[in-house]
């Protein structure tokens, strides 16, 4: 039986993600511009990132005023309930800035430090992915009803389609490109979508065999990591470690270990 609290948290995350997705999709200004930069001049924030995060935190706070927050655009409160919301109001900001469709709203609820509910909304796809810990992963979209998500049957590594992302710091991105160059001959191919949350959900939905990236933060992967695991994927970081800013790896069970080992061998976690 799914815990009633986790069901409550999921419902609230779904409503917040739906409203934020509508705001971003329908409210995008024609003259959208960069409002600020983060790690480098090309790591951007728009006014819509900020507005979406405020919408999400305001809505959740109305219903659960004692919860904590960790948000990409600055929301950070401890809370007293044992529940913390980890929020990326717009994952794929550069795609959004350029009018590309691969962007998402990612919201996860953690209880005592562990993700228990997660939602990723991809408004331009008309799809929303969600999971509660122990309850499987599900999606709604341009089809009837909910679909249960399941990873693809494991392919040999050389037939695996793997996605990745690149950092906004030039030196790091250059090293990541070299790792990708070494991997390409060993895989079916590599994709680069621009939204970590969507990549993890595509793994859950059987659209990818694996995913890896260096430099992710908690808000980039909290919801997507839970959804991928609930769909049968394995996730981690360097061998024996959890996903971290050093390295995040997610893949079908048969692809995970060989992919993780190659990334370790190639030094994907450092310059």
User: What Cα–Cα distance (Å) separates residue 131 from each residue in 15, 17, 70, 235?
Assistant: 14, 13, 19, 15
- 137: tokens are 């992963």
Query: Mean pLDDT of successive 10-residue segments in the chain (271 residues)?
Result: 86 98 90 60 68 96 97 84 96 91 98 96 98 98 94 94 92 93 97 97 98 96 98 97 95 97 94 61
Per-residue pLDDT, 1: 40
Give the rounded distance of the alpha carbon of 258 from its chain centre: 22
Name the nearest CA neighbour of 174 among 48, 271, 45: 271
Q: What is the per-residue pLDDT for 41?
A: 55
Q: What per-residue confidence (pLDDT) applies to 42?
A: 45
pLDDT recorded at residue 2: 56
Residues β-bridged to residue 236: 249
Helix (H, G, I), strand (E, B) or coil at 246: coil
Q: What pLDDT shows up at residue 43?
A: 47
Dihedral sign, Cα of residue 29, residue 35, residue 41, residue 44: negative
Per-residue confidence (pLDDT) for residue 163, from 0 to 100: 98
Q: Which pLDDT does position 67 carry in this prediction?
A: 97
């Amino acid at each position: 039986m799914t815990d009633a609290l986790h069901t409550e948290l999921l419902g609230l995350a779904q409503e917040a993600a739906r409203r934020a997705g509508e705001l971003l999709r329908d409210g995008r200004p024609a003259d959208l511009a960069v409002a600020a930069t983060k790690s480098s001049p090309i790591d951007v924030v728009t006014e819509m990132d900020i507005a979406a995060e405020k919408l999400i935190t305001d809505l959740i706070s109305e219903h659960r005023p004692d919860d904590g927050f960790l948000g990409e655009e600055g929301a950070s409160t401890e809370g007293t309930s044992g529940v913390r919301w980890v929020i990326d109001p717009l994952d794929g900001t550069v795609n959004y800035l350029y009018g590309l469709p691969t962007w998402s709203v990612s919201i996860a609820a953690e209880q005592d430090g562990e993700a228990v509910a997660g939602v990723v909304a991809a408004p331009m796809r008309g799809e929303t992915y969600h999971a509660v810990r122990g309850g499987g992963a599900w999606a709604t979209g341009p089809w009837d009803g909910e679909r249960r998500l399941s990873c693809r049957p494991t392919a040999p590594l050389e037939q695996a389609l793997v996605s990745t992302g690149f950092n906004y710091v030039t030196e790091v991105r250059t090293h990541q490109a070299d790792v990708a160059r070494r991997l390409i001959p060993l895989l079916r191919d590599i994709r680069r979508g621009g939204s970590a949350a969507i990549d993890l959900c595509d793994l859950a939905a059987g659209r990818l065999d694996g995913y890896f990236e260096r430099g992710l933060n908690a808000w980039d992967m909290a919801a997507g990591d839970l959804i991928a695991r609930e769909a049968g994927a394995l996730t981690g970081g360097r061998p024996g470690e959890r996903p971290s800013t050093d390295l995040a790896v997610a893949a079908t069970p048969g692809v995970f270990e060989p992919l993780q080992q190659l990334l370790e061998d190639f030094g994907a976690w450092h310059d």
